[in-house]
Amino acid sequence: MDFNLNEDQIAFRDAARAFAEKSMAPHAARWDKEHTFPVDVLREAGEMGFMGMYTPESLGGMGLSRLDTSVIVEELAAACPSTAAYITIHNMVSWMVASFASDDLRQDVVPRLASGEWLGSYCLTEPGAGSDAASLRTRAVRDGDSYVLNGSKMFISGAGGTDILVVMARTGEADSGARGISTFVVPAGADGISYGKNEEKMGWHSQPTRLVTFEDVRIPAANRVGEEGEGFAIAMKALDGGRLNIATCSLGGAQSALLRARNYLHERQQFGKPLATFQALQFKLADMATNLVAARQMVRLGAFKLDSGDPEATLHCAMAKRFATDTCFEVVNEALQLHGGYGYIQEYPVERLLRDLRVHQILEGTNEIMRLIVARRVLEDGVAEAIQ
């Protein structure tokens, strides 16, 4: 077991940090305030390879492991968790098409996604189907060489600013559950697609979130990703990695908040001395650092399990997502507390980090659903080995 980053990972980390400090950090507060989707910076990220990190090199990606990806994403998230999170959703979309689409479709779509020329959205949630995603009702009906889509998707990240929608829709009977769902690549400007307003959110202001409605949207049958009925399994496989990505965005935000709190304790004086001299506050920093490291190790273990095709990868990704997003939110909240009243003021970035990290406990499967996945496995046989 080697817990150190290797030479390549250190190089990825340094390159990502340099990019994040130059192209993201100086603008993050403005993107947050003005609700700007920074498409130009996303294209720059594409030039760096960050829009196709775990997409195969043969399709224009970097072909990295999930562990390598996590090292990069953490650096991007330290600058702007919201923008980094969109980048990870885009990476998930790119990976789905690269892994499961026909050769023609993947050759057509993936290089443009991996370069950042096209941006992607992942469309699973519906107004009536959130945690119970397998109950989704958007329909795709086969008509000759086409499918015709009807229905709507809720809370779609990037929607209105993206070029490709990867849509999970029902091709089976209404009561066919998870087995009746298929996945499709849908051009975002296809006739019959309409977009709702950009939702006014607590955080994640640097990416739009919209309702997407499909009314008799006709797409070529060749745009189906995988076989009919495989769509839900594909969506869930993508989410194993997606959950690690979101957990990693929490790590980056928490690391940034911790360092800012440390600096602040050195600078700020009360009762005639720096706050850093008060042991009660030192102990807070100690717990924050300890909890952050524990969260990071869980994310890296989950990434290792996914990279090595471990049969317990889903369990470890769920545990890592639950633990890291809860723990890192608390780290940021403590960092805000350590800033006193200034922590609550927008001039200091900690309140933005807090607002951005809050949603990580909700999306890509809520943390209650993560507990459900973990509890289900713990109740089965063989759990002792599974969690070792």
Ligand X SMILES: Cc1cc2nc3c(=O)[nH]c(=O)nc-3n(C[C@H](O)[C@H](O)[C@H](O)COP(=O)(O)OP(=O)(O)OC[C@H]3O[C@@H](n4cnc5c(N)ncnc54)[C@H](O)[C@@H]3O)c2cc1C
Tell me which residues are annotated as active site.
364
Beta bridge partners of 217: 149
- Does position 202 interact with ligand X (CB under 6 A)? The reply is no
Q: In whole angstroms, how close is the CB of 356 to ligand X at the nearest point?
A: 10
Q: Which 151-180 positions form the footprint of ligand X (CB under 6 A)? A: 155-157
Nearer to ligand X, 139 or 201 (CB): 201
Nearer to ligand X, 50 or 122 (CB): 122
Q: In whole angstroms, how close is the CB of 168 to ligand X at the nearest point?
A: 8
Q: In whole angstroms, how close is the CB of 242 to ligand X at the nearest point?
A: 9
# residues contacting ligand X (CB under 6 A): 23
Nearer to ligand X, 137 or 201 (CB): 201
Token pair of 104, please?
A: 């023609």
- Does position 23 interact with ligand X (CB under 6 A)? The reply is no
d(CA 308, CA 313): 9
Residue nearest to ligand X (CB): 130
- Does position 201 interact with ligand X (CB under 6 A)? The reply is yes
- Does position 362 interact with ligand X (CB under 6 A)? The reply is yes
Q: In whole angstroms, how close is the CB of 173 to ligand X at the nearest point?
A: 22
Nearer to ligand X, 180 or 343 (CB): 180
Q: Which stretch binds ligand X (CB under 6 A): 18-26, 35-43, 118-126, 170-178?
A: 118-126
Alpha carbon separation from 311 to 62, 77, 133, 308 (Å, rounded): 25, 29, 23, 9
Nearer to ligand X, 2 or 200 (CB): 200
- Does position 122 interact with ligand X (CB under 6 A)? The reply is yes
Report yes or no: 61 and 113 within 8 Å, Cβ to Cβ.
Answer: no
Q: In whole angstroms, how close is the CB of 184 to ligand X at the nearest point?
A: 14
- Does position 357 interact with ligand X (CB under 6 A)? The reply is no
Query: Interface residues with ligand X (CB under 6 A)?
Result: 89, 121-125, 130-131, 155-157, 201, 204, 209, 359, 362-366, 368-369, 372
